[in-house]
Structure 1
Amino acid sequence: MALLRMWGLKPKSYNCEKCGNDFVSRTALRYHFRAKHLGKVHCQTCGTEVLRASPQHHEKTDHEQTQTSNQERCWNMTFQREIKFVAMETSTSCRMCSKQFGTVHGREHHEKQEHHFTASKRAQMSTGFKPENVLEYRTPIELERFLEAKLRPISGPTRLACASEIDRMIALIKDSFPLSIAFVIKGGSYIKGTDTQDWSDLDIVIFSNAFEDLEDCKRRIPEVLEELRERLIKSSLANRLVLQKRTPFSLRFYFKCYKDHHGHSFDVLPCYDTFGPALSRGLKESFYHKLYLCNDSDLIQLYTMALLKYQVEFVKASTERVKDLMRLVKHWFKTSFAKPTKENKFRRLPSSYAMELITIHVWELAGKPIFFSFVQGMRAVLKLLVRYQDICIIWHKHYRSNSTVFQKVILKQTRPLVLDPANPNLNICENSNAWDEVAHVAQQSLLKPLFNGVQAKEPWLFTNNW
């Protein structure tokens, strides 16, 4: 398309006979015509065409039973994945009405004054220990057994078969992608090695040179995702896919894996190839500065996809025992908090990525031991979460401490601070407006039988200062 413009020619377009609007592909024109002129839209859940006037009827009759049975048979939904690739400024939005404030302090003052969000109300709305929580265990051996039986992915032939099925799905995504592919970056818990028996997710970021620039990518993503969706539902694996509501940047679906015993959550994200598969030190500095100056949140989302490779590598480099500790911490997370209600429906707990990074940091404070007690490790993580206002975690593998961007971000003095190891612009903790709830639940968890009478031992003695 860029070449055509260079020659002074107009790129080919497809014109709607009804309203005269132009579209870049037949697929986009067809979707527009059905939605605007035939009164049909695509169901956000399953992709089926339904009448615009009766989407609720379709949801009730076609989804109510099949969706429930599919999910109960194939997956135990653990985490609600973020709608955006990078969450932004959630920490300053109210948990009850989503109103934005300039600071976390301003937001908390509003919650107390307008919604009477007192300490007792916070305790009531945040804590929800479930029966499958590990906190009722009384010995480290019980915890190890639970980890082996319930959390670690099943190894051996099943794992190999699972890997083969995932490779098959990724190959299908590449074959079905409607644009030329420069390269693909894979992320998610499965790629990092932090997945569990009941939860595994994969991010497939597809970089294409077919986009003219990032603005063009942003504009064309809906069309590209729609065409990819249509091809997938006509593919040989269509009966093993359950499509979800599409996000602004990705096509999201569940893939029923080996013998339907479990499933994987996929996010497929198209992106413009800005730098190629690797960034040099000089390019990174320029890239970080460009991100710092960018005021378009959508473009920031797309820019940041180029850093996924480095985020994955950082977590993936952890030892297997540290990854097991991450699994335990994330299991604690999903079994200790009360579900949001209508009253606090805008509450956003920290992401699983934030929990992974905090776990790595605590392990590093202990001197990176190869063998350690999971009880001691979990206790250390929970004690750090209790004092969340003091959290300041920074790594300098990908950016210099004297870089201009880094120094400007640090001057903001935002707490808690967990700076993305691959991006000095991004405080991972800003994707949550409920750190006080995390601290409360962590404090209550430390009173449970698992930690009863447990004292810090080498190499965890630093936690005595907490």
Structure 2
Amino acid sequence: MEKDLSSTPAWELDKFVEDHIIADTRFLNKVKADIDYICTFLKEKHLKGVTRSVKLNELMNYKSLMKEIHFKDVKISKVLMSGCFDSESDLKDTTEVNITIFLKGLQIFEEVFWRWEEFLEEIKKELCKLPGEEKFQLHYEVQNPEECYPSFLSFKLSSSELQQEVECRVWLARDVLPDVLPDVLHKLRNNPVLGPEICNDTYSELIHECTTPESEGNYSLSFVELQNNFLEDRPPKLKKLICLVKYWHQLCMEKLGKPVPPRYALELLTVYAWEHGSGVADFSIAQGFRTVLKLITKYEYLIIYWTVYYDFQHGEVSDYLRRQLQKDRPIILDPADPTRNIAGCTIMGWYFLADLAEEWLDYPCFKNRDGSQVRSWKVLTEVPGTKQQVTRNFFSRSYFSFPVSP
């Protein structure tokens, strides 16, 4: 398939994505229906775990307080599919779906880790009750029901008729966002007149809890709903471009056989390229694809972040964010969690991927009908000079980067 994509003329990339990459809607609809059923089944369940008390300083020296937490019943408040799983932005051969279970009643983030095994054991028992139900559209099977994974549970949905299957991984997260906050923040992104102050007190305080060195990036699952919202209302063609980039990333993993940057980093890089290079609903897929690959070849210069759900207005978060942006590049901060640098994998992973991207830039998929090279978008620099400049427009995507040459 690599040969097929690389040799596809630039003007036929749209059709290639539709014919060979975008997932089968019949299978996806069945997967969604079954996962919705499982999510509904799990909601409102209570996890008793082991009733006991612990001293925080014995576990993680949390804020150096000698304080006891009395573990009690924990409620599953909501269950969400993580990431983008729909007919517009996922691959035909999707093999994995992430499901996040949000737990209500935990007092601090660390408690998820302390009680991980207890919670997973109880959820596994609940999942094992489901195969007897007749409401599934696909074959449902809990993976290794006698063995608990260290950090997640797994079940499989498959169709012999369509010859497709998907592994669903179940993760745990502390429910920290007030029920209305994700919707409010989502509306604020498209209506800056409302002002950012509505979320500063709640959301920024939560982010501040995650900024200790031992906590950085560990609790991003609690903000999955905001990650989903960040991509939800994007134009269909941008989702198609994201799909193409994810497919290319899959080809690179298969060819290199080495660690490469995570797929989510490339998804965010694609959004960034479109926002600052195009921003319109109808654009050239080939131009967008080439721009993303050019950005990858310049990975050592990447410093990218968004001021959608957090910004510089909260003093402690602002100081932390500035420290984050001074770290070694590449930097691509999670739009929902500034403590998580998605690009922070091994530098060699970026090196190998950039080398392959450079090779792809000469392939026929970036040639016009007259034989000329497809031109990249101009991704211009905006380097804020002062805190006032950065915070003047809360909803603009502030970033540090570089111009991309055609």
Deviates most, 241-250 or 322-331: 241-250
- State yes or no: 1:318 paired with 2:188: no
Shift of 1:177: 7.0
Structure 1 pair 458–266 and aligned structure 2 pair: CA distance change class (3 A): closer
Please state if 1:268 is matched with 2:170.
yes
Whole-angstrom distance in 1 between the partners of 2:345 and 2:4? 25
Structure-1 separation of matches of 2:142 and 2:94: 15
Q: What letter is aligned with 1:226?
A: E
C-alpha separation in 2, matches of 1:460 and 1:312:
27
Out of 365, 373, 378, which is 2:289 matched to?
A: 378
Report the alpha carbon displacement of residue 253 of structure 1 after superposing the two structures with TM. Answer: 2.9
Answer yes or no: is the 8 Å Cα contact 1:176–1:232 preserved in 2.
no
Closer, same or farther: CA 211–436 of 1 in aligned 2, 3 Å = same
Alignment deviations for residues 10-54 of structure 1 (CA, whole Å, 9 cap, x no partner): xxxxxxxxxxxxxxxxxxxxxxxxxxxxxxxxxxxxxxxxxxxxx
CA, structure 1 residues 329+275, in 2 after alignment: closer, same or farther (shift >3 Å)?
Answer: closer
Residue 358 (structure 2) aligns with: 443
Partner letter of residue 316 of structure 1?
E
Q: Relative to 1, partners in 2 of residues 1:340 and 1:458: Cα closer, same or farther, differing over 3 Å?
A: closer
Question: Is residue 290–residue 366 contact of structure 2 (8 Å, CA) maintained in 1?
Answer: yes
Instruction: Look up the match of 1:217.
Output: 112
Structure 2 residue ranges without an equivalent (≥5)? 48-73, 134-138, 183-198, 381-402
User: Could you tell me whether the CA contact under 8 Å between 1:165 and 1:258 is conserved in 2?
Assistant: no
Select which of 234, 251, 263 maps to 1:352.
Answer: 263
**Could you tell me how far 1:384 is from its partner in structure 2?**
1.2
Number of residue pairs the alignment of both structures matches: 326
For 2:282 and 2:131, the matched residues in 1 are separated by 46
Distance 1:145 1:261 in 2: 23
For 2:16, the equivalent position in structure 1 comes to: 146
Please report how far the alpha carbon of residue 326 of structure 1 lies from its aligned counterpart in structure 2 after TM superposition: 0.8
Q: Which residue of 1 aligns with 2:127?
A: 232
Using the TM superposition, give the Cα deviation of residue 459 of structure 1 relative to its aligned residue in structure 2, in angstroms: 5.7
Q: Distance in 1 between matches of 2:103 and 2:254?
A: 42
Question: SS of 1:198's equivalent?
Answer: coil
Q: Relative contact order (alpha carbons < 8 A, sep ≥ 6): 1 or 2 greater?
A: 1
Quickly say closer, same or farther: Cα 1:418–1:272, change in 2 above 3 A: closer
TM-score, normalising length: structure 2: 0.70
Which residue in 2 is equivalent to 1:283? 202
Q: Contact 2:128/2:142 (CA < 8 Å) preserved in 1?
A: no
Whole-Å separation in 2 of the counterparts to 1:438 and 1:235 = 42
Q: 1:365 to 1:275 in 2, by over 3 A?
A: closer
Q: Secondary structure at the match of 2:320?
A: helix
Other structure's SS at 1:441 match:
helix
> 5 Å matches for 1:3-402?
131=2, 133-141=4-12, 143-155=13-25, 160-174=29-43, 178=47, 180-190=75-85, 194-199=89-94, 201-211=96-106, 213-236=108-131, 240-241=140-141, 243=143, 247-256=149-158, 259=161, 261-277=163-179, 278=181, 280-296=199-215, 301=218, 303-338=219-254, 347-401=258-312
- Higher mean Cα deviation, 267-276 or 388-397? 267-276
Partners of 1:196 and 1:384 in 2: CA distance: 22
Which moved further from structure 2: 356-365 or 280-289?
A: 280-289
Instruction: Determine what percentage of the aligned residue pairs are the same residue.
Output: 24
Q: State the Cα distance separating 1:182 from its structure 2 match.
A: 2.3
Which one has a larger percent strand, Structure 1 or Structure 2?
2
Q: Which of 426, 429, 433 pairs up with 2:340?
A: 426
Contact 2:121 2:148 in 1 (8 A): no
Q: In structure 1, what is the Cα distance between the partners aligned to 2:220 and 2:268?
A: 18
Query: Contact 2:77/2:103 (CA < 8 Å) preserved in 1?
Result: yes
Q: CA deviation at 1:150?
A: 1.7
SS of alignment partner, residue 431 of structure 1: coil
Partners in 1 of 2:265 and 2:148 — Cα distance? 24
Residue 257 of structure 1 deviates from its aligned partner by: 5.2
Residue 391 and residue 210 in structure 1: after superposition, are their counterparts in 2 closer, same or farther (change >3 A)?
A: closer
Q: Would the aligned equivalents of 1:315 and 1:356 in 2 still touch at CA under 8 Å?
A: no
Match in the other structure for 1:8: none
- Which one has a bigger Cα radius of gyration? 1
Distance 1:351 1:465 in 2: 25
Q: Equivalents in 2 of 1:458, 1:269: separation in Å?
A: 38
Deviations 1:146-174 (A, max 9, x none): 2111222334x665444323322333444
Distance 1:180 1:401, change over 3 A: closer
